[in-house]
Amino acid sequence: MSESVQFNIQVGNDLTWNVAPLLHEVKHALKKLIDDGKTSIIDLRSIPLAPGEEDTILQTLGQGEVHARLDALGPSEIIETQYSGVWLITHYNADDEIISRFIEVTNMPDILNSQKEDVAEAYGRLAATLENPELQNN
Amino acid sequence: MTDRSSDKEKTLGDALRSQGVSRRSFLKFCAATASMMAISPAMIPKIAEALEKARKPSVIWLSFQECTGCTESLTRAHATTIENLIFDSISLDYHHTLQAAAGHAAEEAREVAMKENHGEYLLVVDGSIPMGDPGYSTIAGISNYDMLMEAAEGAAAIISVGTCATYGGLPMAKPNPTGAVSVGDLIKDKPIINVPGCPPIPVVITGVLTHFLTFGAIPELDHIGRPMVFYGQSIHDRCYRRPFYDKGLFAETFDDEGAQKGWCLYKLGCKGPTTYNACATTKWNNGTSFPIEAGHPCIGCSEPRFWDGGGFYKALSMPTQDIGKTAVYTAAGAVAAGVAIGGLNKLTKSGAAAAHDKTTIDDLEKE
């Protein structure tokens, strides 16, 4: 990712107070995953957050064992936080600007799975490749 | 703009696959779309399913009395690939700023698109229409009024983009020398989606187009024709500085302690409480910030007549931090908080309507 621009914005200590409720929501989502196997997604753009508050959330969740990168219409970062089952998914456009950011509480974010349509297309493509006479002679 | 008929037969899913866009990329696009349309992430699979089957609609874009800021805004809607996907999902058959064709060829493209897609195309309009003297704004010798009425006749729906097309905008500002009117003032028999803003947020413009593509219908609108999904909440209600308003902490000037600490800009004329738009959540410049975050009050550019509102730096009316005391004046004897808040809202509305004169705490206390 490109280096983020640092703004000299002065803010007070009292901000939106949305950080703690959001982290509690993540905790409840994790309990739901454990008890019922139900997954949850939280769109970080849908919640008013003051400058710096999103960073507080990300710092609290931290980084765990998995850090994957997709190249699909621009990069995407899929990070398992230090809390197993809590994933942070950040989609960027081709200019490395964030277009959406989600917290997903699941065993495996769906976007990491190979997609059925892509697998079908891959089968056709591999089969066509193997029909190449040059390959058949090897 | 070539081979429109074969292009139209393809679904969006087919078109994307033929361009080598993977399902994973498509899901990412749908996730970004859900986020920008403020739709629950749980809807992402449904958006994917609907967009997969969508067919490319023909879009005719007419620009009248405008500054091209709306088109500038649209062409900055996300960058490169995502934006391309949105443009790939429509057939933009006429847009005199963006299209390569000029002169007779351009006008022919519009006429052909109108004929071939009669009753089905989307008409997008930016700019107001001069009704005083049509000579103020013409295209290819055709008055804006004539071109609008001709194009509107065969449109499935009309999207008015920007405050000029939706409510008259700056051309309508007193003394309105061109006799500017909005699209809605002239057309009463077609569904019109108003997407105001000066300019509108880029992804709100594309979001409305994507909503039409996804659901095949116009989105739910508010009482002045704006999509609820983007204009359903006030800037004030979604503002990260709202807690300061509730605590009565205000910046009094642009360089005092309150301004430096990021307190509420209400007393500096912020129109956030009476302005409905998505700036506070969607933000600008690909989600970087929005005017209030940069330290400037909201000027209310998505509201009708914001241009003649009496001054961008005049406070709307009495702040509500002292709600108990204020409620006594407005809802005499009312005990229930709900009634008190209702009374206060009435006071705020009437205060704002009264020529937006600044009402100070002192003025109210005299009553």
Minimal Cα distance from B30: which residue of A?
A100
Start-to-end CA span in chain B (Å): 65
Query: Do B136 and B244 lie in a common domain?
Result: no
For residues B30 and B32, give the distance between their C-alpha atoms in angstroms, rounded to a whole number: 5
Do A46 and B35 count as a contact with CB atoms less than 8 A apart? yes
What is the average pLDDT across A38-54? Answer: 86
End-of-domain residue from the set B167, B201, B231? B231
Query: Do B169 and B310 lie in a common domain?
Result: no
pLDDT bracket for residue B7 (50, 70, 90): low
Residue type, B94: Y
Minimal Cα distance from B18: which residue of A?
A121
The listed range with the strongest mean pLDDT (A55-59, A82-86, B49-53, B235-239) is A82-86
Query: Do B77 and B217 lie in a common domain?
Result: yes
> Which two three-digit tokens encode residue B46?
């449904």
Please check whether residue A124 touches B, CB under 8 A.
no
Q: Across-strand partners of A101?
A: A90
Q: What is the pLDDT of residues B94-109, one digit of tens each?
A: 888 888 888 888 899 8
Phi, psi of B355 (to 5 degrees): 55, 20
Query: Do B49 and B195 lie in a common domain?
Result: yes
Do B262 and A12 count as a contact with CB atoms less than 8 A apart? yes
| Residue B1 clears pLDDT 70, i.e. is over it | no
Query: Do B171 and B243 lie in a common domain?
Result: no
End-of-domain residue from the set B208, B231, B254? B231
**Minimum-distance CB partner of B28 among A14, A49, A111:** A111
Please check whether residue B240 touches A, CB under 8 A.
yes
> Which residue in B333, B315, B319 sits closest to B365, CA to CA?
B319
Minimal Cα distance from B52: which residue of A?
A117
- Per the structure, the complete domain to which residue B189 belongs is given by 4-231
Minimal Cα distance from A50: which residue of B?
B240
> Which residue in A15, A30, A81, A76 sits closest to B239, CA to CA?
A15
For residues B87 and B210, give the distance between their C-alpha atoms in angstroms, rounded to a whole number: 10
pLDDT at B343: 37
Query: Do B297 and B190 lie in a common domain?
Result: no
End-of-domain residue from the set B206, B231, B256? B231
Please check whether residue A9 touches B, CB under 8 A.
yes
pLDDT at B117: 92
Do B282 and A43 count as a contact with CB atoms less than 8 A apart? no
| Number of structural domains chain B divides into | 2
Do A94 and B25 count as a contact with CB atoms less than 8 A apart? no
pLDDT at B86: 61
What is the average pLDDT across B158-170? Answer: 96
pLDDT at B2: 41
Mean pLDDT, all residues of chain A: 85
Residues from chain B contacting residue A16 (CB–CB below 8 Å): 240, 242-243
pLDDT at B87: 63
pLDDT at B352: 41
Query: Do B190 and B253 lie in a common domain?
Result: no
| Residue B312 clears pLDDT 60, i.e. is over it | yes
ipTM score of complex: 0.80
> Which two three-digit tokens encode residue B262?
């990021």
Please check whether residue A46 touches B, CB under 8 A.
yes
Query: Do B17 and B143 lie in a common domain?
Result: yes
Query: Do B10 and B132 lie in a common domain?
Result: yes
CA-to-CA dists, residue B199 to B57, B66, B157, angstroms: 24, 10, 21
Cis omega (within 30 of 0) for bond into A51: no
Q: What is the pLDDT of residues B112-137, one digit of tens each?
A: 999 999 998 999 999 999 999 889 99
pLDDT at B138: 93
> Which two three-digit tokens encode residue A125?
């493509």
> Which residue in B210, B121, B207, B205 sits closest to B166, CA to CA?
B205
**Minimum-distance CB partner of B79 among A94, A111, A115:** A94
Query: Do B219 and B266 lie in a common domain?
Result: no
Please check whether residue A108 touches B, CB under 8 A.
no
Q: How would you label B308-324 residue by residue, b for 16+ Cβ within 10 Å and e otherwise?
A: ebeebebbbbbbbbeee
| Residue B63 clears pLDDT 70, i.e. is over it | yes
Mean pLDDT, all residues of chain B: 80
Beta strands (DSSP E) in chain B are 58-63, 91-95, 121-126, 129-130, 138-139, 142-143, 155-161, 180-181, 192-195
* pTM (whole model) above 0.80: no
Q: What is the pLDDT of residues B42-51, one digit of tens each?
A: 888 888 888 8
> Which two three-digit tokens encode residue B99?
């299209």
pLDDT at B341: 35
**CB neighbours of residue A110 within 10 Å:** 16
Which CATH entry fits the domain spanning A19-112: 3.30.1950.10, 3.30.950.10, 3.30.1370.140, 3.40.30.10? 3.30.1370.140
Give the residue, B69 or A10, on which the prediction is more confident: B69
Minimal Cα distance from B37: which residue of A?
A46
| Residue B222 clears pLDDT 80, i.e. is over it | yes
Interface list for A 10-39 with B (CB within 8 A): 10-12, 14-17
Query: Do B294 and B206 lie in a common domain?
Result: no
